[in-house]
Amino acid sequence: MAEAQKDKKEDPKDAFERLTGTQKSAILMMLIGEEEAAEILKNLSPREVQHLGAAMYSVQGLGQDLVNQVLDEFLTIIKEQTSLGLGAGNYIRNVLTKALGDDKAQSVLTRITPTSQERPIEILDWMDARSIAELVVDEHPQIIALVMSYLDAGLASDVLLSLPDELQPDVVYRVATLETVQPEALRELEDVMQRKFKSNATLRASQVGGVKAAAQIMNFTKQDTEALIMEVIGEEDRNLMQAIQESMFVFDNLLDSDDKSIQTLLRNVETEDLVLALKGADEPLRDKLLSCMSSRAAANLQDEMEALGPVRLTEVQDAQKRIINIARTMSDEGTIVLAGRGGDDFV
């Protein structure tokens, strides 16, 4: 019986299905050679390097059949990509940088990068977080908030961390309270940014910022940084602070996280908290979490939930918050990947 279970566990098909996107990327990284792998790592954020590096350690010693399945899937994905626009921006930037050097490449990119009618400062996506922070750090916090609202949430988070600590809460507060930006404001923003690029964008009122944008940025920050920023915002506007927190990664978001991360998380959660948390969870999420446990553990947990009887909503919410705090700490450490919180799998 034990031997049969061992054979099943080592079946390449089952093992392949258990691999996360990050682990598959790690396998490819181990195959392409040191120089090429190093070039890829240079273009990743510190968090991404940490996640991918840990995955590279975890996939050592895999069988050839499993490696072949990863390669087959990769080739299938590549064949299905028929558009040359896929990732073209980064490719062009890297080629020009290697050929011309950083300064000359940036000069060329400033002239040739297409502008977007939807995002008139899209060229900022071509810059690294530190460069953007240096560009805007001396500007009014409202200008910084406007710039941050146009950036991808992950990049905006890196820019935020590159700004002075005392400036960070003010910027997040202003991002959260941004709504409609009129053409005059965009013109002013373009005047500020013209030291780095020229924009020919069509100017019109644009919807940017807001609580959701601020929450997405905060999802990418470390817990200690988040706590400091939220404390300052809470002193200014407690309702706004609560609105941002409610829009951030919450217990229900675990439904979108991968099974392996959930299994790791559950091993670090108190049973009492899990019983309370699941008591108030929706059925799909409850089924998802129970499916990530052994049959015996899931049955015992269900028995405890039934024996518990009615509980106060506040008790359920507190238990869910404690579990999410553990999840976010583990995400910061790179132990698990939380969907939608800057730890997404690489594809």
Q: Please determine, for residue 43, whether its predicted confidence score (pLDDT) is greater than 50.
A: yes
Q: Which residue matches tokens 């924009």?
A: 199
pLDDT digits (tens, 9 = 90+) for 55-73: 888 877 777 888 888 888 8
Residue with more model confidence, 139 or 179:
139
Would you say residue 30 has pLDDT above 60?
yes
pLDDT winner (highest mean) among 67-76, 300-309, 310-319 = 300-309
Q: Of 17-21, 173-177, 259-263, which range is least confident?
A: 17-21
User: Is-contact 124 151, C-beta < 8 A?
Assistant: yes
Closest to 206 measured CA to CA, from 184, 177, 239: 184
Q: How many domains does the chain have?
A: 4
Assigned domain for 232 exists: yes
89 and 196 belong to one structural domain: no
What is the predicted pLDDT for the residue at 3? 42
Are residues 65 and 122 located together in one domain of the fold?
no
Mean pLDDT check: name the lowest of 31-35, 264-268, 283-287. Answer: 31-35
Q: Are residues 54 and 152 in the same domain?
A: no
State the angle between helix axes of 168-177 and 141-150 in degrees (0 to 180), rounded to the nearest 10: 60
Both 283 and 264 in a single domain?
yes
Query: Same domain, yes or no, for 120 and 241?
Result: yes
What integer is the mean pLDDT of 240-262? 83
Within 8 A by CB and 6+ apart from 165, the residues are 228
- In the three-class reduction of DSSP (H, G, I as helix; E, B as strand; rest coil), residue 181 is classed as strand
**156, 121 Cβ separation under 8 angstroms:** no
Check pLDDT > 60 for residue 300: yes
Claim to verify: residue 128 and residue 227 sit in the same structural domain: yes
Mean of pLDDT values over 176-203: 60
What is the model's pTM?
A: 0.39
Q: Report the CATH number that the domain containing residue 144 is assigned in CATH.
A: 1.10.220.30
Domain boundary among 58, 92, 112: 112
Confidence of residue 328 (pLDDT cuts 50, 70, 90): confident
296 vs 100, 255, 258, 282, 299, CA distance in Å? Answer: 62, 22, 21, 22, 5
In a domain, 229, yes or no: yes
Domain endpoint, select from 207, 225, 247: 247
The answer on 118 and 237 residing in a single domain is yes
Which residues form the domain of 105?
84-112
Cα–Cα distance measured from residue 25 to residue 73, given in angstroms and rounded to the nearest whole number: 11
The reply to whether 10 and 54 lie within a common domain is yes
Residue 129: inside a domain: yes
Q: Are residues 28 and 52 in the same domain?
A: yes
Residue 344 within a domain: no
Please check whether residues 120 and 242 belong to one and the same domain.
yes
> Largest Cα–Cα distance of the chain, in whole Å?
74
Q: What is the DSSP string of 76-141?
A: HHHHH---TTTTHHHHHHHHHHHHH-HHHHHHHHHHHSPP-SS-TTGGGGGS-HHHHHHHHTTS-H
Tell me, yes or no, whether 263 lies in a domain.
yes
Do 223 and 108 lie in a common domain? Answer: no
Confidence check: pLDDT of 267 > 50:
yes
Q: What is the pLDDT of residue 289?
A: 92
Residue 206, pLDDT score: 40
Which CATH number is 42's domain given? 1.10.220
26 in any annotated domain = yes
75 or 118, greater pLDDT: 75
- Do 160 and 105 share a structural domain? no
pLDDT at 85: 45
Residue 93 tokens read as 């930037």
Residue 341 lies in a domain: no
- % residues pLDDT > 90 (the chain): 7
| CA nearest to 159, candidates 330, 39, 40, 45 | 45
Residue 242 in any domain: the answer is yes
How much of the chain, in percent, has pLDDT values that exceed 70? Answer: 70
